Amino acid sequence: MSELQKLAKDRAYFKWRLSGQVLPIQGLRSSEIELVNQIEKLRKQLIDGFITNSRVLGLKAKSRCFCGRAKEDHIDKCKRCREACDSM
Ligand SMILES: [Zn+2]
């Protein structure tokens, strides 16, 4: 495995863990909920910039649709999901 492949694997694992994180807020004080909200905001920033940062590191990162297929950067869904939504 090359250095770039290892980097891509490590970053994909990190993003997977970060994206799947759900923080329950039951039983927290308002000051704690405020901190959780800050964490969520930072997490969203990390996820939103992830593709760009991967490309800066030299990886051929592709934007992904929620279904997992590659999509164009500026469009929210892949072609197949857009067609499925349009036919509803
Ligand atoms: Zn899709």
**Residue 77 belongs to a domain:** no
Tracing tokens 């090359």 back to the chain, one arrives at: 2
Res 38: pLDDT: 96
> Could you give the CA distance from residue 15 to residue 53 in angstroms, rounded to a whole number?
12
- Summarize pLDDT for 20-43 with one digit per residue, the tens: 878 888 999 999 999 999 999 999
> Could you give the CA distance from residue 79 to residue 37 in angstroms, rounded to a whole number?
33
**Residue 30 belongs to a domain:** yes
Q: How confident is the model at residue 73 (pLDDT cuts 50, 70, 90)?
A: confident
Q: How many domains does the chain have?
A: 1
**Residue 51 belongs to a domain:** yes
How far is the centre of ligand 1, averaged over its atoms, from the C-alpha of 29 (Å)?
A: 39
How far is the centre of ligand 1, averaged over its atoms, from the C-alpha of 83 (Å)?
A: 9
How far is the centre of ligand 1, averaged over its atoms, from the C-alpha of 67 (Å)?
A: 4
**Residue 81 belongs to a domain:** no
How far is the centre of ligand 1, averaged over its atoms, from the C-alpha of 86 (Å)?
A: 13
**Residue 41 belongs to a domain:** yes
How far is the centre of ligand 1, averaged over its atoms, from the C-alpha of 68 (Å)?
A: 6
pLDDT at 88 over 90: no
**Residue 82 belongs to a domain:** no
- Summarize pLDDT for 42-56 with one digit per residue, the tens: 999 999 899 999 999
Domain of residue 54, residue span? 3-62
Q: What's the predicted TM-score (pTM) here?
A: 0.71
